[in-house]
Chain A
Amino acid sequence: MISIQKYEKVQSLEQAFELNQGKKNRIIGGMMWLNMGHTKVNTAIDISGLGLNTIEETDEEFIIGAMVTLRQLEQHESLNSFTSDSVKNAVKDIVGVQFRNMATIGGSLWGRFGFSDLLTVFLAMDSYVELYPTGIVSLKEFSEMKRDNSILVNLIVKKTPIKICYSAMRAQRTDFPVLACATSFVNGEYRAVIGARPAKAKVVLDNEGILDSGITEETATKFAEYVAANIVTGSNNRGGAKYRKHLALVLTMRNIMKLGGDRND
């Protein structure tokens, strides 16, 4: 369980960032992950008063504040209609409704957790994060960056036309995924994102143009084999490396087939 010396509800990002330079100070999102360990925190930096709990939609993008909960994502009609319900599908089995009312997108992405359904699904989109003070970087770049003391302010999902499909394999409905898979066609390229390998989600592009001639069972299988060959899987108590490879192949193939054969025109 977490122990905290001081609690500070900050008034600005500057204040949050300054406090976050303290070695034992921590931003608190939903605090679900933080509360799992025996973390000793000097100052808990509460950013819930900074208005980062809304999803703003413009003609070009969705701007999702760091304090938006997984349940808000699940229930956002426009975001789910834009992403063919893939956001809803990615979060629906994360613990329970009460949990999803608290866990935040900021904490979820900042953690860059290996098991993350969220990192997996959003990496399949034309997505970016706004960091304070760094600025905007692509989610892919962010996922590869080392954790530092910046603040994740927003997740930005561009309304670049997309076909996307998400699925995950779980041993039990509300457990961590054994393997997570998102496939998409966006910005003229097919992507497969494989999460819970159990390492961090990895993006595999169709660099060999396997799907260029269209999606058929044959090309989908070939692409799925290519994806499985280009990811490293590992073993833990939820599944072995070989089983995960096989799951990556099966889920990629199914998800690609669900994208449909007519690309994005």
Chain B
Amino acid sequence: MIEITINLNGKKISDRIEADTLLIDFLRSHNCLSVKRGCETTNCGLCTVLMDDTPILSCSMLAARAAGHTVYTLEGLQEEASSFVGFIADQGADQCGFCNPGFVMNTIALLRENPDPTDDEIRAFLAGNLCRCSGYEGQLRGIRNYLNSLKEQ
């Protein structure tokens, strides 16, 4: 067992883990249930979290490697997410909603890096987030409407 401390959603969390505990399991065992398990092989983006402000896939990150780093899940970024998630919902882009936390986390990363992206830049940045229900256009329209609303303010 390894003793690790992670700064999770603004709080220091210490725990004992196995050498192969994945970050997704560490996070879910600490009540971050927004972090979803999908493909487990880095293909779907469901497990996206921010580590040191960078979007990563927690299904393929060892918890041991995250020791000493800062990790944010959707539970810790509710306010930032609330500014745009309503626009996505208005487009009916969430059907089963399973992909939503991963999409939202990666959209947060996109907008922090590039606050005024073009549609192609949005598509490119979100290409690693798969949705099996919608056709991606709803998410795109939602983000576009949010960005337009900022310009109108």
Q: Which residues of A contact B (CB under 8 A)?
A: 1-7, 9, 28, 30-32, 35-36, 41, 44, 46, 48, 92-93, 95-99, 101-102, 173-174
Contact = CB atoms under 8 A, between A and B. Distances in A.
A92 B124 contact: yes
Interface in B88-137: 106, 109-110, 124-129
B142 interface: no
Closest 3 CB pairs of A and B: A96-B128, A4-B20, A7-B19
Contacts of A30: 60
A97 B128 CA distance: 7
Given A7-B2, A95-B128, A101 B56 contact: yes
B43 interface: yes
A98 B106 contact: yes
Nearest to B109: A97
Interface residues of B, number: 28
A93 to B, nearest CB: 8
B29 to A, nearest CB: 17
Contacts of A4: 19-20, 62
Contacts of B59: 35
A98 B128 contact: yes
A32 B60 contact: yes
Contacts of B126: 96
Given A31-B62, A95-B128, A98-B45, 19 more contacts: A7-B2, A35-B40, A35-B41, A35-B42, A35-B59, A36-B41, A36-B42, A44-B20, A96-B45, A97-B124, A97-B125, A97-B127, A97-B128, A98-B48, A98-B128, A99-B42, A101-B55, A101-B56, A174-B127
